[in-house]
Each structure stands twice: as C-alpha cells, then as structure tokens.
Amino acid sequence: MIEIYRKRVFCADLQIGQEVSEVFCVARVQRRAGRNGYFLTLEFVDRSGRIPGVAWDEVDRLTEVLVEGAYARVGGRVTDFRGEPQIQVLNAAPAPPTVEPSDYLPSGPAPPERSMAGIHRLAESIADAGLRSLVRAFLGDPDFARRFAAAPAAKVHHHAYVGGLVEHTLSVMELCEQVARHYADLDRDLLLAGAFCHDLGKIRELAVEPGFPYTEEGQLAGHIVLGYQMVLDRAREIGLSPERMLDLGHLVLSHQGELEWGSPVEPRTLEALVLHFLDNLDSKIAAARPFLDEVDHGRTAYVRSLGRALFRRGAGGAKAEGEERSAPPRAG
C-alpha cells in the first residue's frame, strides 16, 4: 500500500539559519544569467504560504526536478535575502509518489460537503421548472460538482481556501432567499438561480493548485464571462427559454455592480440590484472577519480590500479603555 506523505515543515515556520529537507510545491522557476554562468530563482509554496529560493550550482541537474507546478523534496539552508528568509537550494529530489493535497492548499472553517448540502436544499426549493433544471444539471454533473466544491471564492480577499466558493455561494443564496421574502415583487426563483450561478466562472478562473494561480482563460476572459458561458451552455443543453436565459445571464454579468469593478453591464433589473448588494455584503463581511478575529478589542490591521482599518469592541475592552479615552458624551 502506498503511504501518503505528510509534511512536517511549512514555509511559514522557516527561520534564517535553519537546515531544511522537506517537500514543497514549485511555484516558479527562473533561469537567469549571472557573471559566472546561470543560476535559478525559485518560489516554493505550501498551505502556509510562500518562500523564495535560489540555487547557484548544478543548475542543469536541479531543473530536471524543479519544474513549475511539480512537487519536490528540497534540501538546503535558509538564508537571508533582503531581510527575509529564502531557501538556498543545495539539492533536490522527486517528491514521494503521493503527497497529501491538503498540505499544500489552505482549507476553510467548514467542510465543503456541508455547504453543498445547503445549496442542494435551496436549489430544490426553486419552483420554476426551467431554472430548477438548470441548477440540477450543474449539480448533477459529477465533474462540475467536484470542481465546484473544491474552488476558492477568490484568490486573496475573501473565502480564499478550498471550499470557499460553495461557502460563499450558499451564504449569498440564503441572503437572497430572506430578501426575496422581504420584497414581495422580487422573482425568488430567478434570484436564487442567479445567486447559484453568479461566481461559477471562478472554477475556471483560478486553478485549485498551491497559490490558486490564475488560469490562462482567467487572465484573458475572466470569471464573469466564463461563468456566463457556462450558464449559457447548460441553458442550451436543457432548453431553457431565451428570456429566462437572458435574465439569468444578466444577473451573472452585472453582479459586480459597476463597470469599473469588471461587470460589462450594470444591474438593470430589481433582481440584479439585489444580487449585487448581497454578494458585495457577503464578500465584505468575509474579508473583514479574519482581521477582526485577530484582535480582542480595538483597531485591526489595515484591510486592503476595504481601504481602512476596522474596529472591534471586545467584551472586557469596553470597561478597561472606555473611561480614559472615549467618554464622548461630555464637552471637551
């Protein structure tokens, strides 16, 4: 029986001065000309993050093993590169036949299966036969379902882990369901189907590989157009009416809300407005949460995707700091 190899040393743990012999995924290899022949600049990656590398000797032999996207056992020493640790590679060997993917990819707080179950449940609640067939066609395609459950919802800012896409999709579907109950004139079925479809293109935009790199079509077409295309192909398959397809496609195309955020059209229907706002809300909440979790009370680190630091009021913090600095309701 083939044993699965589990890592013990991760990128984020490496410190200058340390000897290293561990399996990493090779994210980048560049052969560059120095004064005394070629050398390699490298990047290694695992679920904890990234570390740069360099190799000065035996470049030809090393490049047989250090191939972009491959796994390799890397031996060497952690040295100082502009104040940050890097691996100075002394030798490299092919990785053991089976590595554990989860050692190289971050995972989220909840298992994707739970999110998938919630999505199935809400999909079945769609009353419109055409739209329900469409969503079922996706979910019933095992290849799609596997990729859907594995994908992250974004490369960096929110839900950037395996299972992130289904977690985000379910959350937006649930919000849409609630809001459809609040505004009686919304087309609940269209909104739910749109929430299901809105980020499908992410499974083709980002590769589920260490570092979640952009695919070629992710760079050249983008998840909005790719997702629209996926929906259109399924719609033709199941014979969805042109009007339904058009309205659903509009939800996918306009969900970023503004042209400068990458949507080629702005929301022009009530359902498109609602989907945009709820997708935005869920993304922002998810982007904010890890920063808030880092502090007990007070100011967080700067949240790049929001353009500001946030504030968390902790249970105890209110008392400790309140008197001194914040007694606002009295004049200066």
- Tell me which stretch binds a copy of itself (CB under 8 A): 46-54, 124-132, 161-169, 233-241: 233-241
Q: Closest approach of Cβ 259 to a copy of itself, in Å?
A: 5
How far is the C-alpha of 176 from the C-alpha of 278, rounded, in Å?
7
- Side chain identity at 245, as an amino acid letter? M
Determine if 208 is a binding residue for a copy of itself (CB under 8 A): no
Q: Decide whether 22 or 247 has the Cβ nearer to a copy of itself.
A: 247
Q: Does 83 interact with a copy of itself (rule: CB under 8 A)?
A: yes
Q: Does 236 sit near a copy of itself (CB under 8 A)? A: yes
Shortest CA distance to 88 belongs to which of 59, 52, 58?
Answer: 52
Q: Which is nearer to a copy of itself, 93 or 236 (CB)?
A: 236
Contact yes or no for 10/45 (Cβ under 8 A): no
- Of 6, 121, 268, 304, the one binding a copy of itself (CB under 8 A) is 268
DSSP codes of every residue in 98-152 = -B-GGGTS-B-SS-HHHHHHHHHHHHHT---HHHHHHHHHHHT-HHHHHHHHH--
Check residue 33 for interaction with a copy of itself (CB under 8 A): no
d(CA 284, CA 310): 12
Taking CB under 8 A as the criterion, the residue among 159, 168, 204, 255 binding a copy of itself is: 204
> Given candidates 88, 214, 238, 305, which one binds a copy of itself under the rule CB under 8 A?
214
Q: Kindly state the smallest distance separating residue 82's Cβ from a copy of itself, in Å.
A: 3
For a copy of itself (CB under 8 A), the number of binding residues is: 96
Shorter beta-carbon distance to a copy of itself: residue 93 or 290: 290
Beta-ladder partners of 78 = 87
75, 90 in Cβ contact below 8 A? yes
* Closer residue to a copy of itself (CB): 59 or 288: 288
- Is 185 a residue that touches a copy of itself (CB under 8 A)? yes
Token pair of 12 as six digits = 């984020």
For residue 72, the minimal CB distance to a copy of itself (Å) is 18
**CB neighbours of 93 closer than 8 A, spacing ≥ 6?**
65, 72, 73, 75
19 lies in the site for a copy of itself, by CB under 8 A = no
Contact set for a copy of itself, span 311-330 (CB under 8 A): 311-313, 318, 321-322, 325-330
Our finding on whether 184 is near a copy of itself (CB under 8 A) is no
Long-range contacts formed by 203-207: CB under 8 A, 24+ apart: 203/144, 203/147, 203/148, 203/151, 203/165, 204/230, 206/151, 206/152, 206/154, 206/155
Say how far apart CA 305 and CA 283 lie, in whole Å.
Answer: 10
Report phi then psi at 25, rounded to 5.
-90, 135
Regarding 150 and contact with a copy of itself (CB under 8 A), the answer is no
Determine if 1 is a binding residue for a copy of itself (CB under 8 A).
no
